Structure 1
Amino acid sequence: MKFGFIMEFICCLLVLISVINVQCCDFDLVSREDWHADPPTDVEKMSNPVPFVIIHHSFMPPACYSAEDCEKSMKKMQEMHQITNGWNDVGYSFAVGGDGRAYEGRGWFNVGAHAPTYNNKSIGICIIGDWRTELPPPQQLSTVLKLINFGVRKGYIAKDYTLHGHRQVRNGTECPGNALLEEISTWEHFSPEAEMYFPPPPK
């Protein structure tokens, strides 16, 4: 009797786990631990849900198409942002590789370093590669949309969020590239109107 109850409980638990996976994990999200991220030097918390999503391209490192190469790209970006730029961590909330996986950067709850004046009210998503003249592969774009939709479902991103490309909110950058900007301009929630950031004059 007791054995039967235990088996029934295990079966119900497995069904519940499978339902949860279907509802919340329709894409692969690679944790910081799994891509071997170095720890941040500091963390600033952010209030959710955020009203903006900002799309970037990495330019360098170039596009990656395997898990191994995309994990290396994440390490390169973190090294550049932390060591070269002197930032607390990799600047983006998430990055998406050509392998179709999303990689956790600063995540849903921490202020990023990807778009001045928007850092504390946006999720910054970097699409790894140089997308000035060509588009990322379909699986890469699909994962970006799934990641955003997941954030909305979980209440991390506002349901009426506004989508911008990086150059719309930061002066003097090509990011996310002409081809990619044209693509995301067709996505739901994209707005051509944005508050442009102008750096203060040098002292």
Structure 2
Amino acid sequence: MSAPCALLAWALLALLGLGLGGPREDPPITCCPIVPRREWRAPASKCTKKLKLPVRYVVVSHTAGSPCDCPASCLMQVQNVHNFHTGTLNWCDVGYNFLIGEDGLVYEGRGWDTKGDHTGPTWNLISIGISFMGNYMERSPPPRALRAAQSLLAWGVAQGKLSPTYEVKGHRDVQRTLSPGDRLYEIIQTWPRYHE
């Protein structure tokens, strides 16, 4: 990670309250750093359909676009995905519930409560869609991105958003696609909650 990206990452973590400050009393249950919509300058969502919580399935995909490895490039990438989904595909918002950057941060898409547009009409109603920003056909996401995704899922269970018995599926398990890419698909198949 370049020096400017590292500095920006520390600044973002400090803004999110995850800096190097001393211990807090009764820290809340937290996951990895989540960049809220306002931080990546998302317009107000036009989506209205809610998910029935807790959700039983998580579908993992990749954006198949450019990767990003620091908050500045990931901010630009999540905006690009949003613009494609709303401008070209005419969706009410970015299609994913969460996006994972190679910077190790999670970018809030539609969030836990709103139905996504990531896997077709059947699965969108019963799953959370998380998408790794990048193309993972021939390369794997870095460990910090994988940890961020797993931490997000554990936090979802702790918050009652995901069923304690949730199952992880690859995008290609539920729809005809190459997503989440061969390398990422190999990795998620080793996760304990993965079911084909």
Fold similarity call, TM over 0.5: yes
**Mean alpha-carbon deviation: is it higher for 88-97 or for 33-42?**
33-42
1:92-126 deviations in Å (ceiling 9; x for gaps): 00001011100100000000000111111111001
Aligned twin of 1:133: 138
The answer to whether the aligner puts 1:85 opposite 2:89 as a matched pair is yes
1:16-63 deviations in Å (ceiling 9; x for gaps): 954324xx2241100000110012223211110000000010111x11
Aligned twin of 2:184: 180
- State the distance in 2 between where 1:166 and 1:102 align: 19
Instruction: State whether residues 56 and 167 of structure 2, in contact with CA within 8 Å, keep that contact through their aligned partners in structure 1.
Output: yes
- What CA RMSD, in Å, does the superposition of the two structures yield over aligned residues? 1.6
Alignment of 1:29-178 (within 5 A): 29-60=34-65, 62-116=66-120, 117-171=122-176, 173-178=177-182
Aligned twin of 2:195: 191
- Structure 1 stretches (4+) deviating beyond 3 angstroms? 15-18
| Letter of the 2:119 counterpart | A
- State the distance in 1 between where 2:31 and 2:189 align: 24
Distance 1:46 1:134, change over 3 A: same
Aligned twin of 1:8: none
Distance 1:17 1:110, change over 3 A: farther
Structure 2 runs not aligned, ≥5 long: 1-21
1:126-165 deviations in Å (ceiling 9; x for gaps): 1111000110000000000000000011110001111100
- State the distance in 2 between where 1:142 and 1:179 align: 16
- State the distance in 1 between where 2:162 and 2:47 align: 23
> Larger Rg: 1 or 2?
1
Q: Secondary structure at the match of 1:72?
A: helix
- State the distance in 2 between where 1:189 and 1:166 align: 15
TM norm structure 2: 0.85
| Letter of the 1:66 counterpart | C
| Letter of the 1:160 counterpart | T
- State the distance in 1 between where 2:118 and 2:145 align: 20
Q: Secondary structure at the match of 2:27?
A: helix
Structure 1 runs not aligned, ≥5 long: 1-14, 193-203
Instruction: State whether residues 34 and 105 of structure 2, in contact with CA within 8 Å, keep that contact through their aligned partners in structure 1.
Output: yes
| Letter of the 1:106 counterpart | R
TM norm structure 1: 0.83
